[in-house]
Amino acid sequence: MNFDLSDEQREIKDTARQFFAARFKPEKVRDLAESRSYDDGLYGQMAELGWPGIAVAEADGGQDLGLVELAVTLEESGYACAPSPLMGSAGAALVISAAGSDEQRAEWLPRLASGEATGAFGGVSPDGQSTLFCDLPTADVAVVFDGDGALLAPASELDCEAAETIDATRSYATVVAAAGERMPGDADAGRDRLAVAISAELTGVGQRAMDMAVEYARERKQFDRPIGSYQAVSHRCATMLLAVEESRSLVYYASWAADAEPESLPMAAAMACARASEAAWETTASALQVFGGIGFTWEHDLQFWLKRSRVAGRMLGSPREHRDRVAALAGLGAGAPAGAVA
Amino acid sequence: MDLSLTESEAAFRDEVRTWLQENHPGPSPEGDDQAEFEFRRSWQRKMHEAGWAGISWPQEYGGKGATLIEQAIFNEELARESVPAPANVLGLVMGGPVVIAQGTDDQKERWLEPILSGDEIWCQGFSEPESGSDLASLKARAVKSNGGWKVTGQKVWTTYAHEAKWCMLLARTDQDAPKHKGITYFILDMEQPGVEVRPLRQITGEAEFNEIFMEEAEVPDENVIGDVGGGWQVAITTLMFERAGLGAAAVMGLRRTLNDLIALVTERGLEDDPLVRQRVAEFQIGIEAMRLGALRTLTATMKTGIPGPEGSLGKWQWAKYNQAMTEMASEVAGPDGVKVGTETTYRFLRSRANSIEGGTTEVLQNIIAERVLGLPRLR
């Protein structure tokens, strides 16, 4: 039993941390958010590092590493709140890897892994309710969960409406009707792996908000003392640590289980997604309170993490829906009502 | 990263499980505290004869010499099989380890074996009525007299004091030194005229703890652990032992409480109530996060050798989730949830102490803020 990243996994995480810190400084995030765009050159660099296909099989053109490796990379992408199609592409690739036919895999996985194409994902319920699709309408191909499994559609064939959400660091859209070619494999496993990937990003979002708040609480003085010396503030920060570490433990466990103990994945993924989405919001909102008035201004950077947590934390359903699924898997009642994707 | 047990860890778990199943002492006698304590003493003796009592102790002192992971597995199995706690809990998890780490050869010779066998019960005299979270402000005072010390003062929240032969006692030996530096760690013989033990009745109605009143109680020089004036450091070590390795057992306890809660909710026909489902899910998630956090801490401790301040999260989580679950059970149980004498009522009331005993949640949050997050100290 060893619940820690391996040296190689740690190296991947450190590399990603440095990559994002150097290239996605808050000014850059702000520029891209204001134009609601991605920097294709920077995404090209991520693709060269193999990140979109880090968990894709070698035969499909990927790095053949596991979900843990993707999770630590996305955690760092969330830490930087980097605007890029990495989440949509790596996420779509996870589902195609788990559920796609040989033809679907051959058509899309090598291109997603190389960065030549980008991906998107989301769900439309049988009664036509759409979730926010991550990286539509900008992507080339989309995974569409429809309550019966997952469909795969070239984005150009989907009737979608761009959604201008509060999270300007990523493109989102709603889809009018589910469409595409059904993927014959295990779409549930794909959805669970996707939930873990999103949770990993959210863990990084929470970590960054906490780091920002703690740094500010050390420096900012009121009544002649650093505000972090007051327990009302320091205990708020301790609560952030509890939330972030609970998320991280659940995310790492679920990423490990996805590859090593798949029978534990459904519960592990539901728990990770419920906790990480709630925790990222709690932590960013709590950070805003630590910053006080300045945190509420447009000029302050915290808003990017705060808004990302709110939108990304609902891409596969709300925390409430994930918790209901946890309750069902824990043996309570007849079972969860089937949402579009949750 | 690999969360599965290695072959040798799995073999260890099977060995523990088999032994516990074959040697389970059966249900504890109820309603008679003394009979229950003797039942636990004989259970401890049985464990000791098979080599299990000192699971964490080095083999040269009669222990099992188990790794931290094996200790976690062992504690998890104890909780899973619902065996009673050994009678001498404080001696096994605190007294023995502190004597092994800081004691002289003579002290080891004198004290260790009777701790393992349960022949001599240990208790802990740290807290005082005016020194709770601020333990270093304690006032019990030890004055030098030929060949030893005379101790006067009061201790409170002392578990098993009425059964104990020995008390791990912190007392002030230098009134002029800074508060952390004037304290000495003694082993006090409880069987003497200068020591009086009174039961302390708590909100559950039972008296699980005691108060100790000391009036010129005598302690010989050979019963000082570590240096005179160095007791604070010895105590810190002891408290670390108290927290290390117990996480796994605590998680198993919470799981049992959650399973009972799920059964209760179902019995009351509330399994489809959306609010109930949300809260049960929160507990499920919180308990799992605590289990995984304990495993991460364990892995880190095995690498570095010392438990870090992150361990404070586990104690906080335990109190938080146990209180919330017992509250909910009391709420959904109907009248039984507040009637005197039911298990639900007892757990509900007993858990009120969880966020106080062994470090208040507020103190744990201070530790996290100052030592993990590096926020400025309050004091």
B56-90: pLDDT as tens digits: 899 999 999 998 889 889 988 988 888 988 999 99
B12 DSSP assignment? H
Class of domain B122-230: mainly beta
> What's the whole-number average pLDDT of chain A?
96
- What is the interface size between A and B, counted as CB pairs within 8 Å? 161
For chain A, how are helix, strand and coil distributed in percent, rounded to 5? 60, 10, 30
- Beta-sheet pairing, B166-172 with A150-154: unpaired
d(CA B332, CA A210): 36
Q: Does B272 touch chain A (CB under 8 A)?
A: yes
Contacts for A8 with CB less than 8 Å, ≥ 6 apart: none
Which of B3, B275, B320 is the best mutation test for A, with the most CBs of A within 10 A? B3
Q: What are phi and psi of B126, to 5 degrees?
A: -110, -65
pLDDT tens digits for range A179-236? 999 999 999 999 999 999 999 999 999 999 999 999 999 999 999 999 999 999 999 9
pLDDT of residue A341: 44
pLDDT tens digits for range A158-177? 999 999 999 999 999 999 99
Sort out which chain A residues have CB atoms less than 8 A from B377's CB and list them: 229
- Mean pLDDT throughout A297-311? 98
Contact B1 A9 (CB under 8 A): yes
pLDDT tens digits for range A238-258? 999 999 999 999 999 999 999
Handedness of CA B33, B36, B42, B45 (dihedral sign): negative
Nearest neighbour of B262 by CB, restricted to A230, A324, A332: A332
Sort out which chain B residues have CB atoms less than 8 A from A225's CB and list them: 376
d(CA B215, CA A109): 80
Which of B36, B211, B242, B357 is catalytic? The answer is B242
pLDDT tens digits for range B34-53? 899 999 999 999 999 999 99
Contact A332 B299 (CB under 8 A): no
Domain ranges of chain B: 7-87, 122-230, 246-372
| Alpha-carbon gap: B277 to the closest alpha carbon of chain A (Å) | 6
Count the neighbouring beta carbons within 10 Å of the beta carbon of residue A294: 12
Above 60 in pLDDT, residue B253? yes
pLDDT of residue A335: 53
Q: Which residues are paired to A221 by β-bridges?
A: A226
Percent of chain A with pLDDT over 70: 97
pLDDT confidence bin for A334, thresholds 50/70/90: low
HEC profile for B272-334?
A: CCHHHHHHHHHHHHHHHHHHHHHHHHHHHHHHHCCCCHHHHHHHHHHHHHHHHHHHHHHHHCH
CA nearest to B281 within chain A: A327
Indicate the burial class of B326 (C-beta count within 10 angstroms; 0-12, 13-18, 19 or more).
buried
Counting Cα atoms < 13 Å in the Cβ hemisphere of B130 gives 6
d(CA B87, CA A281): 46
pLDDT of residue B169: 97
Handedness of CA A238, A240, A246, A251 (dihedral sign): negative
Above 90 in pLDDT, residue A140? yes
Percent of chain A with pLDDT over 90: 96
Q: A341 or A87: which carries more pLDDT confidence?
A: A87
| Alpha-carbon gap: B360 to the closest alpha carbon of chain A (Å) | 13
| Alpha-carbon gap: B279 to the closest alpha carbon of chain A (Å) | 8
- Mean pLDDT throughout B184-207? 96
Contact B285 A271 (CB under 8 A): yes
Residue B81 in 3-state DSSP?
coil
Contact B362 A214 (CB under 8 A): no
d(CA A219, CA B304): 31
Above 80 in pLDDT, residue B305? no
Contact B281 A228 (CB under 8 A): no
Percent of chain B with pLDDT over 70: 97
d(CA B281, CA A325): 8
CA nearest to A230 within chain B: B378
Q: Token digits for A42? A: 């920077």
Whole-angstrom distance between the N-terminal and C-terminal Cα of chain A? 31
| Amino acid identity, position A342 | A
- Tell me which residues of chain B, numbers 133 to 152, contact chain A at a CB-CB cutoff of 8 Å: none
Angle at B195 between CA B191 and CA B201, to 5 degrees: 105
Contact B2 A320 (CB under 8 A): no
d(CA B8, CA B15): 10
Residue A10 in 3-state DSSP?
helix
CA nearest to B289 within chain A: A246
Contacts for B221 with CB less than 8 Å, ≥ 6 apart: B147, B148, B149
* Domain B246-372 part of CATH 1.10.150.120: no
Nearest neighbour of B296 by CB, restricted to A4, A68, A333: A4
Q: Does B267 touch chain A (CB under 8 A)?
A: no
Q: Token digits for A280? A: 């990222």
Helices and strands in chain B, H and E counts: 12, 8
Above 70 in pLDDT, residue B243? no
| Alpha-carbon gap: A153 to the closest alpha carbon of chain B (Å) | 35
Per-residue CA distances from A326 to A268, B103, B257 (Å): 9, 50, 17
Single out the residue of A210, A239, A291 nearest to residue B365, CA to CA.
A239
Q: Token digits for B371? A: 């030592």
pLDDT confidence bin for B249, thresholds 50/70/90: confident
pLDDT of residue A133: 97
Return contacts of A6-13, CB within 8 angstroms, 24+ apart. A6/B1, A9/A68, A9/A69, A9/A72, A9/B1, A12/A54, A12/A65, A12/A69, A12/A72, A12/A73, A13/A72, A13/A73, A13/A75, A13/A76
Q: Which domains does chain A have, with CATH numbers?
A: 188-329 (1.20.140.10)
> What's the whole-number average pLDDT of chain B?
93
| Alpha-carbon gap: A256 to the closest alpha carbon of chain B (Å) | 7
Q: Does B262 touch chain A (CB under 8 A)?
A: yes
CA nearest to B298 within chain A: A3
Nearest neighbour of A246 by CB, restricted to B4, B274, B289: B289
d(CA A86, CA A120): 10
pLDDT confidence bin for A342, thresholds 50/70/90: very low
pLDDT of residue A340: 37
The CATH architecture of the domain made up of B7-87 is Orthogonal Bundle (1.10)
Whether the CB-CB separation of A246 and A239 falls below 8 Å is answered with no
d(CA A277, CA A279): 6
Above 70 in pLDDT, residue B370? yes
pLDDT tens digits for range B132-175? 999 999 999 999 998 899 999 999 999 999 999 999 999 999 99
Contact B281 A238 (CB under 8 A): no
| Alpha-carbon gap: B27 to the closest alpha carbon of chain A (Å) | 28
d(CA A223, CA A236): 19
Helix (H) or strand (E) holding A174: strand A172-175
pLDDT of residue B358: 85
Contact B277 A324 (CB under 8 A): yes
Single out the residue of A207, A92, A67, A179 nearest to residue A143, CA to CA.
A92
Q: Does B274 touch chain A (CB under 8 A)?
A: yes
CA nearest to A251 within chain B: B289
Residue A74 in 3-state DSSP?
helix
B310: annotated active-site residue: no
pLDDT of residue A338: 42
Sort out which chain B residues have CB atoms less than 8 A from A226's CB and list them: 375-376
Above 70 in pLDDT, residue A339? no
CA nearest to A320 within chain B: B278
Task: Tell me the H-state helices in chain B.
Answer: 7-23, 33-49, 68-80, 89-90, 96-102, 105-117, 231-243, 247-267, 274-304, 312-332, 343-350, 361-367
Q: Token digits for B74? A: 């062992």
pLDDT of residue B286: 98
Above 80 in pLDDT, residue A102? yes
ipTM metric: 0.95
